[in-house]
Amino acid sequence: LSLFATLIAIPAYNEEAVIARVASGIRDAIPEADVLVIDDGSEDATPLILQKEGIPFARQPCNLGYGRTIQTAVRCARQQGYGALITADGDGQHSPEDVRSLALASRDDPSDYLIGSRYLATRDYSTAPVDRRIGMQLFSWLTGWVGPTRVYDTTSGLKVIRATVFDALLRWHFVDFHAEAIVYLASLGYTIGEHSVGSHPRRRGVSMYTPLASISYPVKTLTMTALAVAHARLEKRRNAR
Amino acid sequence: LTSPWSRLLLGTLSFVIAAWVLSLVRRGKLYVGYGLPFLVLAAAGAGLALLPTHHPDFVGGVRAASGWLEAALVLAAFGIAAMFIYILSQLTIIAGRTARLAQELALRDAARVTRKAQNESSTPPRRVRAGQPAGRPRS
């Protein structure tokens, strides 16, 4: 895979404090690839900053959530014929070096969906809050149960998505995208890989996981994951006929 | 619930509602957050239908009711639930279409802004902009 055929999408929601630094850092680290910020209807100065800095961006007229924002990026990559899409969080959790490292790893790794994993090397979730830690371990175990290999970082926003899975990702309606996408694609027979990257605390802004979400998120995601597996099996059976 | 027919009706309708909700959620026609309360209610209904006949006292009032009245109440409750599911399903479909529209608008708007910027600048852009044919990946 050539990095010239790669689109790097950075989903951002109210990230005025860091978005310019994050986007230009990634752009400078991987000059071969194209960078596009997907602004998820920010209410702060994020779009103005992007415009001022000359960073290409697509602005959703209203807040659609992370899953839909990633689908917008997938739609864009598919429409323009890119070979791969790299997603990196807009809050600065991933260093440009990590994004580059993952991009370079994707040239040799044939996985359809390659995750920049913070836990692959250490398998130590102690840095995450307790509620999230339980969720991460549960969904990590679930990926091993459904797919051929266990994924240790199901919530990473840094990933390489190959064009082979664009259509599949646009067909399913994700609530959260992370674990659902992994399990759905694994159930369809696509390969999921992990590449070890560093972990950095978010620089500014507010996490999308609120205390209420830490209760509702696992329930919704578990339901959607189970349905995604059922849907994938039905789809495979239909295609086999 | 006293009457075996009421129990059978409650159990059957709970199963039908759960299957319908799961099918709608799977097909993207009902948001999972809307569907979950109905799944919980359906599970509770199925549990009530399977409950042993020796109820605790607080269920005694329900036991006192006659079979046909119970059946009518069960039917009415499920009718109301089905109506809510239908309305929420329509809402989900409209929300899905709106989200799709918002995605397309975002990509088109980015392309328009880029074209404008290109026209204002004499040098061609270094990078691809969303929705811009000139920005197709280089091989």
Q: How far is CA B2 from CA A15, B42, B73, in A?
A: 59, 19, 13
**Chain segment A216-237, per-residue pLDDT in tens:** 888 888 999 999 999 999 988 8
Which residues of B fall below an 8 Å CB-CB distance to A?
22, 25-26, 28, 31-33, 35-36, 39, 96, 99, 102-103, 105-107, 109-110, 113-114, 117, 127-132, 135-139
Q: Which residues of chain A have pLDDT under 50?
A: none
Q: What integer pLDDT is reported at residue B111 of this predicted model?
A: 74
Res B102 pLDDT > 80:
yes
Q: Could you tell me if A125 lies within 8 Å of chain B, comparing CB atoms?
A: no
Contact at CB, A75 and B113, closer than 8 angstroms: no
Q: What per-residue confidence (pLDDT) applies to B127?
A: 47
Give the model's pLDDT for residue B134.
35
Distance CA A119, CA A156 (A): 10
Work out the minimum CA distance from A124 to partner chain B, whole angstroms.
31
Instruction: Give me the interface pTM, i.e. the ipTM.
Output: 0.82
Q: Is the minimum CB–CB distance between A35 and chain B shorter than 8 Å?
A: yes
Does the pLDDT of residue B122 top 60, yes or no?
Answer: no
Q: How far is A54 from chain B (nearest CA, A)?
A: 9
Q: Which residue has the tokens 């969904």?
A: A139
Q: d(Cα B13, Cα B112) in Å, to the nearest integer? A: 53
Three-state DSSP class for residue A78: helix
CA–CA min distance A121, chain B (Å): 33
pLDDT band at B124 (very low <50, low <70, confident <90, very high): very low
- pLDDT of B130 higher than 80: no
Q: List beta partners, residue A84.
A: A6, A162
pTM: 0.82
Please give the residue of chain B at the shortest CA–CA distance from A59.
B106
| Cα nearest neighbour of A230 on chain B | B26
CA dihedral A95, A63, B128, A164 (to 10 degrees): 80
Judge whether residue B69 has pLDDT over 60: yes
- Interchain contact A202–B (C-beta under 8 A): no
Answer positive or negative: Cα dihedral of A115, A127, A93, A98.
negative
